[in-house]
Amino acid sequence: MDTSLTDLIEFCQQHNRIFPKSIYWGYLYDLLPSKGEGEKPPPPSVNCPWEDHYNSLSEAESDHQKLFLQYLKYAHQTTAFDRCSKFLRSLVGEHPWVHAGEYTGRVGF
């Protein structure tokens, strides 16, 4: 894996972060081009109670984290990587992020 991608993933996982809150994740999604090497990942569906779709909180968090990592890898394969990296690194503090154990399904809080 490219060091710039590895560095971004490490940044995004600091302090037990698992993915950005919905408003930021939606903006990140909009930064991704519709065509790249492979198919654009699906849009985030993070504004529903996890109990409606998952057996456990950890399963929901894991599934969303995998999708978020797909976004980073897809961005890395396209011209959007620098834009996405700058955007994510511009998120100040921990408020824009969902951390392990915090996911409620309504991540826009």
Q: Are 44 and 96 in contact (CB under 8 A)?
A: no
pLDDT beneath 70: ranges in the chain: 1-2, 36-37, 46-57, 103-109
What pLDDT score does 108 carry? 46
What pLDDT score does 101 carry? 80
Task: Find the distance separating the first CA and the last CA of the chain, reported in whole Å.
Answer: 33
What pLDDT score does 42 carry? 86
Please spell the DSSP secondary structure of the chain, one letter per residue: --HHHHHHHHHHTGGGEEEE-HHHHHHHHHHS-SEESEEPPPPP--BS-GGGT-SSHHHHHHHHHHHHHHHHHHHHTSTTHHHHHHHHHH--SSTTEEETTT--SBTT-
What pLDDT score does 54 carry? 55
Domain boundaries defined on the chain: 3-99
What pLDDT score does 14 carry? 96
What pLDDT score does 37 carry? 65
**pTM confidence score:** 0.83
